[in-house]
Amino acid sequence: MEIAPEIYIYCIIDDNTLKTDLKLKGIGDSEVFILPLNNLGVIAGNFRIRKENDPDYIKNCAMQHEHLIESLMERYTVLPVKFHTVFKDKISAIQAFQKHYSDFEDNIKRLRNKIEYGLKVLWPLKEIQNNLDINSRDKERVIEGDSESKKYLKNKYIKYKQSEALKELAKARSDEISKYLDNFAVEKKLKLLQTDSLFLNAVYLVDKIDIKDFLEAFRKLKEDMGSKYEFLFTGPWPPYNFITLKR
């Protein structure tokens, strides 16, 4: 028996109609349409994920999902919706999104004409660790003795001090990077030391009128610090990391 397609959701846009010149194709070249939501629109399609245990198929579907959102980003303010968000029919989809309408409207206003860039910065971990200022005399004074238990505690203490020193250094280096980019970003979100080598994972919300200045600031940052660190810079993206829901 043929399984009926689901209502697959891609994103929300700041218009309740689609421009007639847009030629949109959904996942697997499926139909794309808009569900009016007051002054906004929910971009949806008739599609069902059929091979949930096939990683290559899922990856390809996710890429097509993102591609559609990015193509809309050129013409609208876009609120991306999580990959594989589905409803049984149009009515249930609209009812679900209507519950959060005020949040969507607030996000559209705040994110209008803004895009996201991502920045990951890696440092040479062994070199950094070798240069950490760990006070060995303080270590000896706090934990005296040469028994196996004392040696174990000393090693634990050294690792703790190294960890704290890495955190302080990551914060200081992050502050240096911020001096280059913050003037051209509306908002930012930073995560420090997600791994010992990845000392900064950041996303920046940038107004479209400031894109040129932001990219120039990053170019200068990389020129000044590129010999010390590895920079992984991505974007422009829809503002995935800056959407907030109150309920």
CATH number where 187 lies: 3.30.70.100
CA angle 100–101–105, rounded 5-degree value: 120
What is the number of other CB atoms lying within 10 angstroms of the CB of residue 231?
Answer: 15
Q: What percent of the chain has pLDDT over 70?
A: 89
Whether 29 shows a pLDDT value over 90: the answer reads no
CA 135, CA 169: separation in Å to the nearest integer? 15
Same domain, 130 and 221: yes
Same domain, 89 and 156: no
Residue 46 structure tokens: 């008739």
Q: For 181-199, what is each residue's pLDDT tens digit?
A: 999 999 999 999 999 899 9
Closest by CA position to 35, among listed 48, 22, 46: 46
Last residue of a domain, one of 62, 94, 112: 112
pLDDT at 2: 45
Q: What is the pTM of this model?
A: 0.82
Same domain, 60 and 119: no
CA 98, CA 157: separation in Å to the nearest integer? 54
Residue 247 counted as domain residue? no
Read off the pLDDT band of 136 (50, 70, 90).
Answer: very low
Q: For 1-14, what is each residue's pLDDT tens digit?
A: 344 568 999 999 99
Residue 62 counted as domain residue? yes
CA 75, CA 209: separation in Å to the nearest integer? 15
pLDDT, mean of residues 145-163: 72
Q: To the nearest whole number, what is the mean pLDDT of the chain?
A: 87
Domain span holding position 157: 115-242
Residue 78 counted as domain residue? yes
DSSP state of 5: P
DSSP H helical ranges for the chain: 55-73, 90-98, 101-111, 125-130, 136-142, 148-181, 211-225
Residues 49, 61: contact at Cβ < 8 Å? yes
CA 132, CA 179: separation in Å to the nearest integer? 24
Same domain, 10 and 100: yes
Alpha carbon distances (Å) from 62 to 3, 50, 58: 21, 13, 6
Q: For 94-109, what is each residue's pLDDT tens digit?
A: 999 999 999 999 999 9
pLDDT at 137: 47
pLDDT, mean of residues 69-74: 91
Same domain, 224 and 201: yes
Name which residue leads in pLDDT, 237 or 140.
Answer: 237
Residue 1 counted as domain residue? no
